[in-house]
Amino acid sequence: MRSKKTKFIFVTGGVVSSLGKGLASASIGALLENRGLDITLIKLDPYINVDPGTMSPFQHGEVFVTEDGGETDMDLGHYERFTHARMSRLNNFTSGRIYNAVITKERRGEYLGKTVQVIPHITDEIKASIRQAAQDVDVVIVEVGGTVGDIESLPFLEAIRQMRYDVGSQNAVYIHLTLLPYIGAAGEVKTKPTQHSVMKLREIGIQPDFLLCRTDREISRELKDKIAMFCNVDNGNVFTSPDVRSIYELPLELHRQGLDERLAEVLNIWSRAPHLEKWETIVRKIYEPARGEVTVAIVGKYVNLTESYKSLNESLLHGGIANDVRVKLRFVDSQDVEAQGPEKTLAGVDAVLVPGGFGVRGTEGKIAAVRYARENKLPFFGICLGLQMAVVEFSRTVLGLKGANSLEFDEHTAHPVVTLMESQVKVQDKGGTMRLGSYACALKPGSVAHKLYGQESIQERHRHRYEVNNAYRGRLQEAGLVISGHNPELNLVEMIELTDHPYFVGCQFHPEFKSKPFAPHPLFSGFIGAALAQRDATRGQAPVHS
């Protein structure tokens, strides 16, 4: 039993994908939270994969990891960055996960000989999953992935259609995000795609209460009234989701139009006026930073699709907010570093970051980037694989261990300084079997990491199979590599740094999953602070060539 009368906001999308349902949902969550309401968000994904963990970043974008080790859709990252809501594996359901649950129940005989069907069994499982994640909150925002009209999303749409009857019409509203394209040859904005999208939604049995129209320009009151009339929506319930320079401006824009006020009215929610001062400060620091600009090179293998590093990119922006400086990201393909050398590909940057990733392609370029940053005293930050590449580079160059490598990339290396976790040796299934979720990390007193966090024990999220080989730990430390963080339970390396360097930090975990614009992660704040110091101290000086 819920102790609160929970309200439900269902967000669907039409016409085309990538309109920004996730950001719209997150922005609505931010506005309602700032009105004093307890909120949570759920993403329903129509694909058959049980989770996105085994999907290519090129196709799906980033895999966001929750505190409890769920591998989830990247929109959950937006939800956490925009609100204080803590996501878990209960906040993301795919068709694969729903069907898997139903089939498992059928195999156990839980349906008592009945014919198992999409309605009611699949839709009931979807509704049960929504209710499970909706415990003890005032408002649940449920985003349905895909586009109305896709055959894959029909069970989800039918489930949310039924929920209005289950919870009562005053406790559920439907928001439909659609497209208003501007046709240059005609010189006008066209409403027909929106009309057809709503028509398709109504055929399914859902009449949207609100329309959120994606557009690149201001829309007149007359055009909104036309849309309202043809789509059978109240005049005051047509809003726009305009193009904004920063995604963090969207909550302010939607509030300016009165969307949160109207939602509270329709759902009969008593709430205070929102406190949006922190969002105004964030936007000011993004648009008008007091301390200029720094350039950070991200050396990776997915750089042609920035969605693959969404949380990372946003966390660097948060680090800029913390230092009141604009962060310019230069995406560098690690294969280009291999082919052209770091002197050319990294020239003129103020700091170097090597992010996580899987597979051998481009790893030698990452190692070369690490060496360039270490020898030229350029601020360096290595995350997950980036830490491992830093250990490999240090082992080869400083310890003189020829051919040192990770077992992930060279099974026959004479010096496996990065090795497969013992618990992973016999694992054959790829999905959901890595070291996932939150683990403890004890920080070395007096280290850079300890100073940045301001505490000796932290919790951070992981997603990896390989670890620094403990057999080499002593030799690495004797040569000057500081193990500044370790997991006390598993005795595994969590953080490294160098003392004879302005800023050289690596972490085995993914701090980008816990950073917010109004609470930047200390490792990103410190990294951008170091880049700023580097810019001020050395801009214009020629680097040392390794």
* Residues annotated as part of the active site: 384, 510, 512
Does the annotation list 365 as a binding residue? Answer: no
Does the annotation list 18 as a binding residue? Answer: yes
Does the annotation list 252 as a binding residue? Answer: no
Q: Nearest 5°: phi and psi at 327? A: -110, 115
Radius of gyration of the chain (CA): 25
CA distance 457 to 159: 44
On whether the CB atoms of residues 354 and 386 are closer than 8 A, the answer is: yes
Alpha helices by DSSP H, listed for 289-381, are 310-323, 334-340, 342-345, 363-375
Does the annotation list 191 as a binding residue? Answer: yes
**Nearest Cα to Cα of residue 79 among 36, 132, 139:** 139
Does the annotation list 397 as a binding residue? Answer: no
Strands 326-333 and 492-498: unpaired
Place of tokens 């795609």: 193
**Nearest Cα to Cα of residue 512 among 530, 493, 527, 497:** 527
On whether the CB atoms of residues 208 and 231 are closer than 8 A, the answer is: yes
Does the annotation list 23 as a binding residue? Answer: yes
Does the annotation list 265 as a binding residue? Answer: no
Does the annotation list 143 as a binding residue? Answer: yes
Q: Nearest 5°: phi and psi at 40? A: -145, 165
Does the annotation list 328 as a binding residue? Answer: no
Eight-class DSSP state of 396: H
Does the annotation list 21 as a binding residue? Answer: yes
At 331 the three-state DSSP class reads strand
**Nearest Cα to Cα of residue 24 among 268, 283, 275, 249:** 249
Does the annotation list 506 as a binding residue? Answer: no
| Residue type at position 117 | Q
What tokens were used for 221? 């009151």
Does the annotation list 244 as a binding residue? Answer: yes
Does the annotation list 481 as a binding residue? Answer: no
At 302 the three-state DSSP class reads coil
On whether the CB atoms of residues 64 and 314 are closer than 8 A, the answer is: no
Does the annotation list 366 as a binding residue? Answer: no
Does the annotation list 401 as a binding residue? Answer: no
Does the annotation list 192 as a binding residue? Answer: yes
| Strand (E) or helix (H) holding 333 | strand 326-333
Does the annotation list 220 as a binding residue? Answer: no
CA distance 67 to 69: 6
The neighbouring-strand residues paired with 332 are 299
The neighbouring-strand residues paired with 327 are 294
Does the annotation list 226 as a binding residue? Answer: yes
Does the annotation list 246 as a binding residue? Answer: no
Give the relative orientation of helices 21-33 and 259-266 as an angle to the nearest 10 degrees: 70
Q: Nearest 5°: phi and psi at 22? A: -65, -45
Does the annotation list 452 as a binding residue? Answer: no
On whether the CB atoms of residues 99 and 122 are closer than 8 A, the answer is: yes
Q: Nearest 5°: phi and psi at 488? A: -70, -25
Does the annotation list 357 as a binding residue? Answer: yes
Residue ranges of the annotated binding site for CTP are: 17, 150-152, 190-195, 226
Residue ranges of the annotated binding site for ATP are: 18-23, 75, 244
Residue ranges of the annotated binding site for Mg(2+) are: 75, 143
Residue ranges of the annotated binding site for L-glutamine are: 357, 385-388, 408, 465
Residue ranges of the annotated binding site are: 17-23, 75, 143, 150-152, 190-195, 226, 244, 357, 385-388, 408, 465
Residue ranges of the annotated binding site for UTP are: 17, 190-195, 226
